[in-house]
Structure 1
Amino acid sequence: MANGDASFPKIAGSSWWKLRDLFKRKVPAIVTPTYLATALSMGEASARSNLIGPFKKIGIIDEDGKPTDRAYDWRDDHKYKTVCEALIEEYYPQELKDLFHSADSDLQQVTNWFMSHARCGEPAAKMFARFYILLLKADPKEADVAVAKKEGTKKSSPKDNKKQAKVTEKPELEFVEENPATQPPTVPAHTQTQTVPTVLNNTPELHINVQLHISPESSAEQIDKIFESMAKHLKDFNK
């Protein structure tokens, strides 16, 4: 910085791109807090401190709020890089430019430098650092990147979250415990299978003997169910 002033430009990236987009559409005759408040849906006080002051500082608008020749170059994609390079040359010391001259410079290291030289807190230093790196990039396409990043990080509404939860919710499985008293008793059955190979017309025959041991405590209804089940499973055996 030519005058040795330790106060550096501090402009949020979103404000930078929003105002540039306004100038690309139509350069206003004068930039006032009310103009910015209406165009960018922000408060007048915020527009005055976060946009009017900083843009006067870097020469985009003059002391009366009128756009300068630099404003016309700034909005031009072909001249945008030249404007960024001029701002870096005018407002930053050689030490910073020697240390951090690439667009991929580490944000935290640049922030630490500003904290030391501007004697400010980390939040302010980080804003200085982000704007400096924005100028290093000198790429008008960064506006599209910023918009895409904002849309990608936009939080979904509670209604959307509720819909998502409803879609991904797993159905609960219902387990019904059976009452042992309603089920037929377990009847130990000893099945003895004797295979008697009888050759008759070269066709083997299979004989099965089934022995059941039924508990004396079984009721007549339970015994009927046992034989009913046997009949059901063995009726087609000889077919």
Structure 2
Amino acid sequence: MKSETVRTVGNIYYLSNLKNEQGQRIANDFLTRLTNGFAKRTAKYMRMTREVPFVYRERQLHSIIAPTLDDFTDAFLMELPTRRSWSVTADERISDSHGWIDYWCSYRNISFLVELKHGFISSKSGLIRKDVKAEWGTAILQLDAIEEEAKFQGQWSNGTLRVAVHVLPLFERLVQTEGKPVNDLKKLLEIQKRAMEELERRPNWSAMWKIHEGIAGPYEYSNAIEFYPGVLIVANVSEVTIRNH
């Protein structure tokens, strides 16, 4: 496991099962820079507003993800039109249809096709909920169904990578009379490992951002106090074509 400390932001812990090959080395770099930038921009927002941008849904994440991609990729586009060939996936009950890919990015002469998902994990229980597993499965199927688009994009670069990215804030809700929340690094890393093992198809990359205690909470609501000790980002990278140079 690798880790880095980002001043006033927190610590990020990386787990990667990506191979030491050209395309996957670039994918590791892409995801590391995406996570680092996401953490920095999110922390800035939290300090300025005393609100948490990842408590909503996937749509609000784009406000953080898009400018982060703009910082380090050569080019990117949101909502790339595509045709999903569901007939080539395991679910042949769905007819082929038009759709959109959350992000197309060009980075180090590799085309990235990214599907973004959002969910929550209780830092207290540490369980990976059914809805999280279902959303992850949807992202994998959506990417499986765009193999032709991926091959097409690979004509204009050194290859194409399909990447499922699931952003999973860890939360704990306390009533006014309860004590301190879970903020134990060992527990957070156990959750990271559990997600890597329980999601189908297994992620081959993940990062746990342990949020700086100064911005992890408390965030007060009418009848409860919420803490956010971390954000887990899991990813599955699948190659279509990579040309070695």
Category of TM-score, reference length = shorter chain: under 0.3
More strand by share: 2
TM-score by length of 1: 0.25
More helix by share: 1
Query: Which has the larger Rg?
Result: 1
TM-score by length of 2: 0.25
